[in-house]
Amino acid sequence: MSAATIPARTKPAPAGAPRRRKRSNPGGNVLVYAISLVVVAVTLGPVLYGVLGGFRTNAQLAENPAGLPDPWVLSKYAGVLAADSPFWGYFLNSTIIAVVTTAVVVVFGIMAAYPLARYRFRGREALFLVFVIGLLFPATVAIIPLFILITQNYQLGNTWWGVALPQAAFALPMTVVILRPFLQALPAELEEAAQLDGASRIGFFWRILLPLSGPGMVTVGVLAFVGSWNAYLLPLLLLRGDMRTLPLGVADFSSEHSADTAGVFAFTTLAMIPALVFFLAMQKRIVNGLQGAVKG
Amino acid sequence: MWRKRAEIAFFVAPALALLVAFVAVPVATAVQMSLYRWKGFGPMVDFVGLANYVSVLTNDVFTDALVHNLIIVVGSILLQLPLGLAIALLLNRKMWGQGLLRTIIFVPYVLAEVIAGVVWFQLLQPQYGVIDTMLAAVGLQGPDQGFLGTPEYALWTVLVVLTWKYLGLAVILFLAGLQGVPEELYEAAQLDGASWWQVQRRITIPLLGPTMRTWGFLSMIGSLQLFDMVWILTGGGPANATTTMATFLVNEGTKRQNFGIAGAASVVLFVVALVLALAYQRFILSRDSKEDEA
């Protein structure tokens, strides 16, 4: 378990990149670019086909499925973005649920990781083991009882909290496992200096530890946000009607309007955009987080 | 002393409360459910012992689902490992547009499985879908019911779409692992006159071992829980040709209200995942444990 390498890992990377540049480039360049083009075409092809499909009419799609928009039609996209379109409601629900999930995961996660990383007490490793064991239980295994408990016992069916809280709960073990070594890696001298200055352990947590663990919190936060934004199974069982999230909206639109292929493409394309923008903005963090998860 | 305990409790309690309410209690309920015949309302009173397990394990739909999961586990690794490795080695050279290429290859991974599934569902439509059109252009004909509608092809089609979706993760992780290979090794090998391919085979790929093994573990766990993509592409059909353990238990739980059966299927899914995870740990990951503990 060397997740302590996360903070360490993010730093050598920039130094590594220019170093690699020095290596001489063996031949076969044309082949390398040709293969790269194939990879790009296969990777982006389906996505671009969906984007372009939204600019066509169903008649165009039926007549020549592989063609380009001719003429370009904006009505499908406009229809999805119209003020009375359900798209905005789905978008709002997805955003709120992802923000609540992320906030709960980050706040509860850093709080739990702090004593596990920096207090000495009997039973500390046993307590940490509880979180490690939590890693073994994916939401899929408990999905049916979750559905029953949340709707019947907790009275949270068809609400934002009813989806956000269990999502946060299932993301917490990984969060604590990533954050604990991150907090352990902060030098002990910091804590001693803070104590000499009269800070309590809680004061140390607020004024020194929290600001210093920003990068770690951003990493686990981004992972929690993406996980929530893309989640399907739990919202599928819990949310109906106006409470549905974007993935549910996309799936339902696609089956309800199966004859309107162009409309489905437009709706799906617009639903992709938030995740893609978020990814482009947070690319480094997401990749670092995934590497951290693998290292841990 | 009491103050320190109170602080620990204050910091850990919220996370523990959430874990108990939304992980521990549901998991325990799944086990409890699996021992009763229960339709979801009123108390569980009709205790049936292990009858639900017998019924799940002798149900051809479930055992087929388990086999489908295992096919996806093995198929994903056999497809994505060589492809991911090849692309990572390719991208690890100095070349124009390298950063852009890395970003592009990761795009499918970032999309929701549902969104990728809906797009592919349209591409794979029989006759008027673009894939059948492209096949027709080179003189081939797709199956009449489409690739997703024909039992013999459906599972393999799902596997191909999953490969498209998740290949980027393998590539990104392998590339990250490649950055950890010390530059000196390459220089020494080049001084000794090793060819590019020799360097990859003798140095890079062996040093990438831990990354590949950990990626394989993540891939396996993901494949065992497969739900979203199947639900969107085929709903488990045609004729249960693509049912997975997860789609089976969701179907039993939500459409048929067979909560006892769903509970038993959940427990079996958990046990299968646990046994495979422990076996993987024991036989494959254990090679890395010495480095990891350092």
| Inter-chain residue contact A145 with B114, CB threshold 8 Å | no
A10-19, A71-80, B4-13, B124-133: range with lowest mean pLDDT: A10-19
Provide the pLDDT for residue A296. 45
DSSP codes joined into one string, A69-111: -SS---HHHHHHHSTTSTHHHHHHHHHHHHHHHHHHHHHHHHH
Provide the pLDDT for residue A216. 84
The span from the CA of B102 to the CA of A278, in Å, is 16
C-beta of residue A235 within 8 angstroms of C-beta of residue A248? yes
Task: Using pLDDT thresholds of 50, 70 and 90, give the confidence band for residue B187.
Answer: confident
The span from the CA of B79 to the CA of B156, in Å, is 12
Provide the pLDDT for residue B118. 95
For B14, counting Cβ atoms within 10 Å of its Cβ (0-12 exposed, 13-18 middle, 19+ buried), the class is: middle
| Inter-chain residue contact A111 with B27, CB threshold 8 Å | no
Residue A69's region, left for phi above 0, alpha for psi from -120 to 50, else beta, is beta
One-letter amino acid of A268: T
A80-94, A202-216, B90-104: range with lowest mean pLDDT: B90-104
> The domain A86-257+274-295 is classified under which CATH number: 2.40.110.10, 1.10.3720.10, 3.40.50.150, 1.20.1540.10?
1.10.3720.10
- Residues 6 or more apart from B125 whose CB is under 8 A from it? A261, B132, B146
**What average pLDDT score do residues A282-290 get?**
74
**What average pLDDT score do residues A87-115 get?**
95
Task: Using pLDDT thresholds of 50, 70 and 90, give the confidence band for residue A203.
Answer: confident
Mutation pick from B1, B31, B119, B292 vs chain A, by most beta carbons of A within 10 Å, is: B119
Contacts of B269 in chain A (CB under 8 A): 140-141
Q: Two tokens at A287?
A: 């990749």
Provide the pLDDT for residue A295. 55
Tell me the CA end-to-end span of chain B in Å, nearest whole number. Answer: 33
- A184-198, A241-255, B139-153 — which one is most confidently predicted on average? A241-255
- CA dihedral (B251, B256, B259, B264) in degrees, to 10, reads -50
Model confidence pLDDT, tens digit, residues B217-245: 889 999 999 999 999 999 998 999 999 99
One-letter amino acid of B276: L
One-letter amino acid of A110: I
**What average pLDDT score do residues B205-220 get?**
88
**What average pLDDT score do residues B268-282 get?**
91
How far apart are the CA of B152 and the nearest CA of chain A, in angstroms?
A: 24
Which residues are B47's β-sheet partners?
B36
Model confidence pLDDT, tens digit, residues A237-258: 999 999 999 999 999 999 998 8
The span from the CA of B278 to the CA of B265, in Å, is 20
| Inter-chain residue contact B104 with A44, CB threshold 8 Å | yes
The span from the CA of B255 to the CA of B252, in Å, is 6
For B292, counting Cβ atoms within 10 Å of its Cβ (0-12 exposed, 13-18 middle, 19+ buried), the class is: middle
Domains of chain B, with CATH numbers? 62-293 (1.10.3720.10)
A179 pLDDT above the threshold of 70: yes
Task: Using pLDDT thresholds of 50, 70 and 90, give the confidence band for residue A294.
Answer: low
Q: CB atoms < 10 A from the CB of A214, how many?
A: 9
B108 preceded by a cis bond (ω within 30 of 0)? no
B249 pLDDT above the threshold of 90: yes
Provide the pLDDT for residue A9. 37
B291 pLDDT above the threshold of 60: no
Q: CB atoms < 10 A from the CB of B47, how many?
A: 11
Provide the pLDDT for residue A166. 96
Model confidence pLDDT, tens digit, residues B35-94: 999 887 778 888 988 999 999 999 999 999 999 999 999 999 999 999 999 998 888 877
How far apart are the CA of B94 and the nearest CA of chain A, in angstroms?
A: 6
C-beta of residue A28 within 8 angstroms of C-beta of residue B94? no
A48-52, A201-205, B122-126: range with lowest mean pLDDT: A201-205
Task: Using pLDDT thresholds of 50, 70 and 90, give the confidence band for residue B183.
Answer: confident
Q: CB atoms < 10 A from the CB of A68, how many?
A: 10
Model confidence pLDDT, tens digit, residues A8-35: 333 343 433 444 444 444 445 788 888 8
Provide the pLDDT for residue A293. 61
Task: Using pLDDT thresholds of 50, 70 and 90, give the confidence band for residue B289.
Answer: low
Contacts of B23 in chain A (CB under 8 A): 134, 137, 142, 169-170
Task: Using pLDDT thresholds of 50, 70 and 90, give the confidence band for residue A112.
Answer: very high
| Inter-chain residue contact B5 with A166, CB threshold 8 Å | no
| Inter-chain residue contact A144 with B106, CB threshold 8 Å | no
**What average pLDDT score do residues B9-28 get?**
94
Provide the pLDDT for residue B65. 96
- Residues 6 or more apart from B153 whose CB is under 8 A from it? B143, B147
Q: Please, what is the average pLDDT of chain B?
A: 89
- A184-198, A215-229, A277-291, B258-272 — which one is most confidently predicted on average? B258-272
The span from the CA of A6 to the CA of A222, in Å, is 15
B292 pLDDT above the threshold of 70: no
- pLDDT above 70: percentage of residues in chain A: 88
One-letter amino acid of A44: L
- Residue spans per domain, chain A: 86-257+274-295
- Residues 6 or more apart from A120 whose CB is under 8 A from it? none
| Inter-chain residue contact A46 with B30, CB threshold 8 Å | no
Q: Two tokens at B40?
A: 């979801």
Rounded to 5°, the CA angle A68-B136-B243 comes to: 95
Task: Using pLDDT thresholds of 50, 70 and 90, give the confidence band for residue B290.
Answer: low
Give the per-residue SS3 of chain B: CHHHHHHHHHHHHHHHHHHHHHHHHHHHHHHHHCCECCCCCCCCCCECCCHHHHHHHCCHHHHHHHHHHHHHHHHHHHHHHHHHHHHHHHHCCCCCCHHHHHHHHHHHHHCCHHHHHHHHHHHCCCCCCHHHHHHHHCCCCCCCCCCCCCHHHHHHHHHHHHHHHHHHHHHHHHHHHHHCCCHHHHHHHHHCCCCHHHHHHHHHHHHCHHHHHHHHHHHHHHHHCCCHHHHHHCCCCCCCCCCCHHHHHHHHHHHCCCHHHHHHHHHHHHHHHHHHHHHHHHHHHHHHHHHHHC
Residue with tokens 């994505």: B80
Partner residue facing B227 (CB), from A40, A226, A233: A233
